Every structure is written in structure tokens, then in C-alpha cells.
Amino acid sequence: MSSPSSSWTALFSGGRGIYVVALNLGIGLHAIDVFVISTVMPAVVRDLGGVAFYAWATMLYMIASIMGAASGNTLRAAVGARNGYSMAGLLFLLGTIGAAAAPTMAALLAARFVQGLGGGLIVSQSMGLIRELFDDSIRTRALATVSGVWGVAALLGPLLGGLFGEFGWWRGAFVATLPLIALFVILAWRMLPPSERARSVPHLPFRRLLLLGGGVLAVGVGGTTGSLILELGLLVLAVVMVYLAFRLDAEAEIPLFPSRAISFNHRVGVAFAMFFLMSITHSAAGLFLPLILQVIHGVGPLGAGYFNAILALSWTTASFITAGWKGRAEIVALAWGPAFAGAALAVVAIGLTWMPPVAIGICMAVTGLGIGSSSLHLTAATMAGAVSGEEARTASTIPTVRMLGIAFGSAGAGLLANLAGLASGITLANVQAAGTIVIGSAAVAAALVFLLALRLLAQRRVAAPAE
């Protein structure tokens, strides 16, 4: 039984309730925006054109989120926690206004980048404020509310995007969030405690961030060239840029990532590769699923959006169900979860044109259950396998690796879809071809996660006697 000091009541007492509301409102707005965009994108390209850039709205948002998340500590040190949090909200507000009013696809993409930068700053600073504002006895409760917010966002995001999609006014999905963003900025400015600026402000790792972002962008640009040679060249460039970013980071005085982040001979490197591929799996599948359902199966925007909600909610459900699994059960969750997810996605890729939507929904639920059961135990395994002295950095960079995977997944899915003919227009044949190759590639990524999980388990068995 919880002691009074660690109860849910304690979380909201002593003036802390307003902090809980403000922090979760900021994270919730970012989370809803992640789910909204995939639901409204079919309507966006019908209105603005630019179908070749279908995946870019998500890709650029995630690139900017990575940059924002990496810049959160610097902004906070420069202007203080309250000012930094408020500025992040204003940036998110500006990007949302730009997205709602965008007259062209180029304007929408620029606005999405600004949104992502603000969202990344909000999320990174939220984690720092939770550590500051809540002591050890109730901090896990505060973090639990954040997890709950993502579940709520999985329901509200598709609802918001789907409703306005049904009405034929996709801009409304952005307009509807403006009052909430304004409320967040006001709460951040008026209610959060003031804090002093730091005496020394850490430098932003510009080169490393530009290399990471440039690598993702190279994949996205490759999907719009129409030249196989250019596409292959840009893919090679992307790999080189990301590799250089990690090499520079390993030599940096203040690194962003742990020292063995890209080593397959260490548990952290294998785990990071699993996070990366796992994010590619769900982002590639989720990005194009609403388009597939609307064009091939005639599902409305609202219904199509909720197929992504099925993925997110089953993921959350699996996390709660498997949280207490130990021993053999933990191994099943960690390794076989991705295997089941890959099998379910393979079924969707094969039966895309003839499977009823209900069957596709069941497959997406299996995918979410598989990824969710594995992800929770993978996080614990990553923290347990961290190099001594790098535990905090290893844990804090897991979200960044995930965002990087989502960005690459979106860019790669766009490239494959355009290769399949989607760039020439949203026709039944083009969507069928694009859907098959994108969902199929997501299944392959899940299969690779399964193979890496076997390697991780083998490495853990070898390390166990020494530990």
C-alpha cells in the first residue's frame, strides 16, 4: 500500500497539480500532433498537391524534434526553465498557425519543421522539469501521467484529424489545437516557478545535429529525384553522414550518445539498433495505412485514423500486461514480440488488396502488442547494459534514437512509395503498389529486430557471470 507521501493525492497536492497539468498539456499537444498528421495527409495532398512529398510532413517534423530535444538543455541554461518552456510553446504555436494557413505544400513543410522544433523543446524540457519539480517519492507517478497522455493522444489525434477530414477541412485539425497551445503558453509563463540562468551555457552540437538531420533529409530527397542512380547515391550519403555524426560524438567533450552506441559487439549498440528498426517498423506502417484504407478499401478519414490508434493502444496495453514478466516470459516478450509483429505486417502486405479492413485491424493490433511487449523490456535491458558511468546518458538518448528511427522510417517509406509510382498520383494501382512495398519493408525491419534480439540475449548471457 502506498504511503501518503507517494500517493496519487500527493502528486496533486502542495500546488503541484498545476505543474502536472501544464507539463502533460505540453507533451499531449506534441503527441496529438504526431497522430493527427497521418490521418489528414490524404486530404492535404488532394488540396495542396505535392504527393511526392507525402512523407515529408512527418519526416521534417521528426528531424526538427531531434534538434529541439538536443537543444533543450542549452535553451534552458540560457534563459531559465520558465522562459525556455514558454518560448518552446510559442514556437509550437507559430508552427501550428503556419500549418493551418499553409497555401502550398512547401509552406506546410516549413511550418511542420517549426512545429517539430517547438515540440522537441517541449518534450526535452518537460523531462527536466519533472526531475526538478517532483521528488523521488512521487516522480514515477508524474512519469506515469505522461505515459497516460500518449494513450489519450492515440484516441484524440485520429478523432481530431478524422472528423475534419470527413468535413473536407483538414486545416481545422490544426486550428482546433490553437486554444490549447495558447493555454499551455499562459500556464507555463504564469504558473511555473522562475529559475535563474545558468552561469555557463553549453554549446549546441551543430555539426552533429546537422549531420543527423542531413542524413535523414538525403533519404527523403532521394525519393523525389526520379533517378535510381541519384537515389542510391543519396542513400550512401545518408549512411556516411549518420556514421560521421556518431564518430564526431564519440570524440566530443560532451557527447550526446553513449560511447558504444553503434557497436554491434556491445549490448547498448545492439539495443539502439533495435530501437531504430522498431521505430522504422511502426512509422512506415502507420504513415501510409490511412491512405491505403481510404483509397483501396473506401474507409472514411475518421475510421482510417483509428487503425493507427489500434496500433498505439495495443502497444500501451502490451506494456502494462508484460511489465511484470521475468525470466523466460521476458525473453518471449523481448524477442518474439517483434517476430509476431513482423508476421502480422507480412500478412497485411500480402493481402492488402483483398483482406477486409477488420482483418487489417486485427493484424495492426498484433503488431502493436508485439512491439509494445518488446519495447518495455528492451528499455530495461538497455539501461542494465549501459557502460559504467554512462547510465544516465544511455537512458536519456533512447527517445532520440527512437525519433531518429521514425524520421528515417518516414523518409524511407516515402522513397519506396515514390519508387512504386505514388509520385505520379494517388490512383488505386499506385496506392496498392506503394502500400505493398512500404508495409512489406516494415515487416522486414521487424524481422531484423527479432534477429538482433537473439544477439542481445546471447550477449546478456555471456555478460551475466561477470556481473
Position 392 scores a pLDDT of 67
Within-domain flag for 4: no
Q: Are residues 239 and 261 in the same domain?
A: no
Q: What is d(CA 402, CA 120) in angstroms, rounded to the nearest whole number?
A: 13
Within-domain flag for 72: yes
Task: Identify the weakest region by mean pLDDT among 69-83, 167-181, 261-275, 359-373.
Answer: 69-83
Confidence grade of residue 1 (pLDDT, cut at 50, 70, 90): very low
Over residues 368-372, the mean pLDDT reads: 91
Can you give the three-state secondary structure of the chain, one letter per residue? CCCHHHCHHHHHCCCCHHHHHHHHHHHHHHHHHHHHHHHHHHHHHHHHCCHHHCCHHHHHHHHHHHHHHHHHHHHHHHHCHHHHHHHHHHHHHHHHHHHHHCCCHHHHHHHHHHHHHHHHHHHHHHHHHHHHHCCHHHHHHHHHHHHHHHHHHHHHHHHHHHHHHHHCCCCHHHHCCHHHHHHHHHHHHHHCCCCCCCCCCCCCCHHHHHHHHHHHHHHHHHCCCCCHHHHHHHHHHHHHHHHHHHHHHHHCCCCCCCCCCCCCCCHHHHHHHHHHHHHHHHHHHHHHHHHHHHHHCCCCHHHHHHHHHHHHHHHHHHHHHHCCCCCHHHHHHHHHHHHHHHHHHHHHHHCCCCCCHHHHHHHHHHHHHHHHHHHHHHHHHHHHCCCCCCHHHHHHCHHHHHHHHHHHHHHHHHHHHHHCCHHHCCCHHHHHHHHHHHHHHHHHHHHHHHHHHHHHHHHHHHHCCCC
Q: Are residues 182 and 217 in the same domain?
A: no
Position 4 scores a pLDDT of 42
Q: Are residues 325 and 467 in the same domain?
A: yes
SS3 104: coil
Q: What is d(CA 371, CA 120) in angstroms, rounded to the nearest whole number?
A: 23
Within-domain flag for 109: yes
For residues 182, 187, 189, 191, the Cα torsion angle rounded to the nearest 10 degrees is 170
Q: What is d(CA 465, CA 467) in angstroms, rounded to the nearest whole number?
A: 5
For residue 199, which phi and psi values (nearest 5 degrees)? -70, -35
Position 455 scores a pLDDT of 94
Decide: 290 and 41 in contact? Cβ < 8 Å: yes
Position 2 scores a pLDDT of 43
Domain termination residue (choose one: 158, 177, 196): 196
pTM tops 0.75, yes or no: yes
CB atoms within 10 A of CB 193: 12
Q: Are residues 217 and 332 in the same domain?
A: no
Within-domain flag for 409: yes
Q: What is d(CA 437, CA 236) in angstroms, rounded to the nearest whole number?
A: 21
Q: Are residues 270 and 288 in the same domain?
A: yes
Taking CA atoms, 2 is separated from 9, 133, 140, 321, in Å, by: 11, 20, 12, 21
Confidence grade of residue 3 (pLDDT, cut at 50, 70, 90): very low
Grid coordinates 570524440 are at which residue? 251
Confidence grade of residue 438 (pLDDT, cut at 50, 70, 90): very high
Position 201 scores a pLDDT of 67
Decide: 411 and 220 in contact? Cβ < 8 Å: yes
Within-domain flag for 201: no
The answer, yes or no, to whether residue 145 has pLDDT greater than 80, is: no
Domain termination residue (choose one: 217, 240, 255): 255
Q: What is d(CA 186, CA 262) in angstroms, rounded to the nearest whole number?
A: 41
List the alpha helices (DSSP H) in 15-55.
17-48
Condensed to tens digits (0 to 9), the pLDDT of residues 13-40 reads: 766 777 788 888 888 888 888 778 888 8
Within-domain flag for 388: yes
Domain termination residue (choose one: 196, 225, 245): 196
Within-domain flag for 184: yes
* 361: CATH: 1.20.1250.20
Within-domain flag for 386: yes
Over residues 218-242, the mean pLDDT reads: 84
Grid coordinates 494513450 are at which residue? 151
Q: Are residues 274 and 228 in the same domain?
A: no
Range of the domain at 239: 206-255
Q: Are residues 294 and 434 in the same domain?
A: yes
Q: Are residues 288 and 272 in the same domain?
A: yes
Taking CA atoms, 339 is separated from 333, 367, 391, in Å, by: 10, 9, 29
The answer, yes or no, to whether residue 459 has pLDDT greater than 80, is: yes
Q: Are residues 143 and 230 in the same domain?
A: no
Position 312 scores a pLDDT of 79
Q: Are residues 191 and 216 in the same domain?
A: no
Q: Report the domain count for the chain.
A: 3
Q: What is d(CA 208, CA 257) in angstroms, rounded to the nearest whole number?
A: 11
Over residues 292-315, the mean pLDDT reads: 85
Q: Are residues 281 and 427 in the same domain?
A: yes
Q: What angle do CA 436, 449, 368 make, to 5 degrees?
A: 65
Over residues 275-304, the mean pLDDT reads: 90
The cell numbers describing 461, all together, are 548471457
For residue 103, which phi and psi values (nearest 5 degrees)? -85, -20
Confidence grade of residue 403 (pLDDT, cut at 50, 70, 90): confident
Q: Are residues 238 and 108 in the same domain?
A: no
Decide: 423 and 224 in contact? Cβ < 8 Å: yes
Over residues 358-377, the mean pLDDT reads: 91
Position 429 scores a pLDDT of 94
Q: What is d(CA 121, CA 234) in angstroms, rounded to the nearest whole number?
A: 29
Condensed to tens digits (0 to 9), the pLDDT of residues 319-365 reads: 778 877 888 888 888 999 999 999 999 999 999 999 999 999 999 99
